[in-house]
Amino acid sequence: MPGIVGLVGTADSGRVSAALKKISYIDTYEATVFPILPTLTLGYVGRPSQRDYATSDGEEQSRLSVLVYGAVFRQHPRPHRVAASQILQDFRAGRFQALRDAYDGSFVIVIFDPANQRLHVAMDRVGTQPVYYRQWRGILTFGPEVKALMTAADSDAELSEAGLINLLATGYSPGDRTLFTDVNALEPGSLLTWDLSQQTLSRERYWKIVYDPTDSLGRRGVAAEALFESTRRAHELCLADDPHDYDLFLSGGLDSRGILGVLDQMGAMPKRALGWGMRDDIPGSDAWIAKQLAGEFRLDFSFLPYDTDQMTEIAAEWVYVSELVNDNIGRYGEGMGAVRQFYSTGADFTFIGDEAWGWRGHAGNETEARAHVLPSSLPPQLKSILRTDQVDRFESLYDDSIARIMQPCENTDATDRKDFLYLHGRVARFIFTLGYYREIASEMRRPFLSNGVLEVVRHLPREYRVHKNLYVSMLKKFLPRTMKYPEMDVPSLPDWSYDLRYKQPLRNYFLELLDFANLEDGPLGSMIDRTAFERVRDDFFSSPAQPVNRQASAQVRMKRAARQALVTRPRLDRFLTRVRTQMAPASPSNAMDSLWRIALCVLLQRNLGRFRMGR
């Protein structure tokens, strides 16, 4: 995806240019190399509108330099976009105080400070843009994709055990660990600093969410109004640079319809709404609801239909492009063709409904807090196929990854800690990664994660965050047209579990990937027990499966109604949550999760040779 690439500690010799070329996926991208010092080279690739560069006066090697990717905004004294030249002035005046207190938006900022011989790399508060980095033998490389920094370093990429365990357990890479050996991800709200004279690397967490309920937001009506006003101001901020036109990802869920409602009230409707799925004519499905909402608000609706048939043709290329940042199965039905032909609309940016209103129900203890967001320990199905003499070590690696995310959390209440893990663990490393490769086609703007909205959310009573019920109250009170249609109760996405078994080309493709000999080409071969793995694989492909029911489900509607009734009764919700946790046996993971993720890892292993310069 687009972004900034850096090579520090050695001469460039064309490496940065080669790295930019690796991640230049769209013909309209522009690539620029900035030779700052003989041993410090920066590069940018992407849309010209997202690049901004400024330097101070003086001799070339003594200039303070600022390179920005993304859009930096500031709310005061009026909503406006912040230029690199202003960031340069802010840095001179107070170093990173403006970063901590005022900068909003989705961005990566790189600053070279010649007076102190330091290079700083900063990301926005919630970490919307990826920054991967590698320190090796006095050389630092960083970039928005691992293949870019490995090309800049002229090094081979290798998969790591810790990264593989995290991916197999969760479907993504939570925390600062990645799938790749010696490659880390910069955490949200963090500042990475390289001391050129000492060749040392340091990291500073300048922001994290701290939940601190206030009495002034204790009444539901007052809190709903405060939340609405913050979301309205957030949309105004996103539009502060007077865009020509912009799109909206309209999924049919509650979050994107909230953006639709606010923009309608502002008289600032997007040019078009974009939806996706297998079909948009299945009543009660997300795609159908999105289409109805677009019609209700007289908004052009473009729909991307996809199914499982394309997977065998696009999977290898997509796993290379995406670097398996998540296991989202839908992307393997879309691929780069959808990025170039559907999501590349020419709009200045696209609104997307990523949020942190509050995740699921109350948590009574640390185990429940973790289990609401991701597996609190290695899933039983995964453990059943790991080598028995390695399970304890892998469990420890996984537990350590979660502990590293939670270590900065200042809250002690389990529900607060659950929402901290959701924002800084799942949103930062899974939800955002779903948009990384749509960002190839269009800049993303996320009003619900603006500084002002998060400031209101962190001061809410925790009962208002449970099942994001205050947000629902806000929609009903201030944006009632958006609630004309209920939430989804019928799936509109392809039935991968059924098709993997019964579509012969797809079945054969996966059975070839899941031949244990392919696992032995990488670290998975020494991590997984062959006999147990082949038994799970063969049982999955031989077991009968029923196609997904695409008829409206009264049971789903009843569960949703019960949940909506419980969120305003926190004591009862907490009690029932604990009863379910205590009485329900640990259910085994779906075998498809493990098999799907292992197959994708095999594909990634086959493509690792392409990560290095000249390949």
DSSP string, 468-526: GHHHHHHHHHH-GGGGSS----B--S--HHHHHHH-HHHHHHHHHHT-HHHHTTSTHHH
Mark whether 110 and 156 lie in a shared domain: yes
| HEC sequence for 207-275 | CCCCCCCCHHHCCHHHHHHHHHHHHHHHHHHHCCCCCCCEEEECCCCHHHHHHHHHHHHHCCCCCEEEE
How confident is the model over 449-470, as a mean pLDDT? 96
* pLDDT beyond 50 at 276: yes
* pLDDT beyond 80 at 576: no
Which of 14-23, 529-538, 573-582 is the least confident region?
573-582
Separation between Cα atoms, residue 122 and residue 209, nearest integer Å: 17
Mark whether 121 and 263 lie in a shared domain: no
Mark whether 200 and 222 lie in a shared domain: no
Residue 124 lies in a domain: yes
Between strands 246-249 and 349-351, the pairing is parallel
Say which CATH number the domain at 150 has: 3.60.20.10
219 sits in the region (left: phi over 0; alpha: psi -120 to 50; else beta) called beta
* High-pLDDT (> 90) share of the chain, %: 83
Alpha-carbon Rg for the chain in angstroms: 24
Judge if the upstream peptide bond of residue 270 is cis by omega within 30 degrees of 0: no
Out of 491, 524, 551, a domain closes at: 491
- Residue, of 300 and 572, whose pLDDT is higher: 300
**549 C-beta neighbours (distance < 10 Å), count:** 10
Tell me the backbone φ, ψ of residue 392, rounded to 5 degrees: -60, -40
Residue 395 lies in a domain: no
Separation between Cα atoms, residue 602 and residue 615, nearest integer Å: 19
**What pLDDT does 562 receive?**
65
Residue 539 lies in a domain: no
Residue 350 lies in a domain: yes
**What pLDDT does 568 receive?**
58
Model confidence at 585, in pLDDT bands (50, 70, 90)? Answer: very low
Which of 123-137, 164-178, 181-195, 580-594 is the least confident region?
580-594
| Structural contact between residues 523 and 161, judged by C-beta atoms closer than 8 angstroms | yes
* pLDDT beyond 50 at 587: no
Write the DSSP symbol of residue 292. H
Out of 446, 471, 491, a domain closes at: 491
Say which CATH number the domain at 221 has: 3.40.50.620
Mark whether 219 and 202 lie in a shared domain: no
- pTM for the full predicted model: 0.95
Mark whether 155 and 288 lie in a shared domain: no
152 sits in the region (left: phi over 0; alpha: psi -120 to 50; else beta) called alpha
**What pLDDT does 205 receive?**
96
Tens digit of pLDDT for each residue in 210-245? 999 999 999 999 999 999 999 999 999 999 999 999
Which of 91-105, 117-131, 289-303, 441-455 is the least confident region?
91-105
| Structural contact between residues 285 and 293, judged by C-beta atoms closer than 8 angstroms | no
Separation between Cα atoms, residue 335 and residue 338, nearest integer Å: 6
Mark whether 121 and 245 lie in a shared domain: no
Mark whether 173 and 72 lie in a shared domain: yes
How many independent structural domains does the chain possess?
2
Token couple for 188: 């949200």
* High-pLDDT (> 70) share of the chain, %: 93
Separation between Cα atoms, residue 508 and residue 15, nearest integer Å: 40
Mark whether 100 and 30 lie in a shared domain: yes
Query: Whole domain around residue 11: which residue ranges?
Result: 3-206
- Residue, of 329 and 409, whose pLDDT is higher: 409
User: In which element (H, E) is residue 168 found?
Assistant: helix 161-170
Mark whether 299 and 444 lie in a shared domain: yes
Tens digit of pLDDT for each residue in 467-524? 999 999 999 999 999 999 988 888 888 999 999 999 999 999 999 999 999 999 999 9
Write the DSSP symbol of residue 587. P
3-class SS of residue 373: helix
* pLDDT beyond 50 at 583: no
**What pLDDT does 414 receive?**
96
Residue 185 lies in a domain: yes
Tens digit of pLDDT for each residue in 89-142? 999 998 888 889 899 999 999 999 999 999 999 999 999 999 999 999 899 999
Model confidence at 49, in pLDDT bands (50, 70, 90)? Answer: confident
Q: What is the mean pLDDT of the chain?
A: 92
3-class SS of residue 405: helix
Out of 166, 186, 206, a domain closes at: 206
Mark whether 60 and 150 lie in a shared domain: yes
| Structural contact between residues 125 and 188, judged by C-beta atoms closer than 8 angstroms | yes
Model confidence at 551, in pLDDT bands (50, 70, 90)? Answer: confident
Model confidence at 588, in pLDDT bands (50, 70, 90)? Answer: very low
**What pLDDT does 230 receive?**
98
CA distances from 282 to 64, 277, 326 (A): 57, 10, 27
**What pLDDT does 555 receive?**
65
CA 233 to chain centre: 24
Mark whether 177 and 227 lie in a shared domain: no
Tens digit of pLDDT for each residue in 69-86? 999 999 999 999 999 999
Separation between Cα atoms, residue 124 and residue 480, nearest integer Å: 32
Mark whether 13 and 140 lie in a shared domain: yes
**What pLDDT does 554 receive?**
66
- Residue, of 56 and 550, whose pLDDT is higher: 56
**What pLDDT does 594 receive?**
95
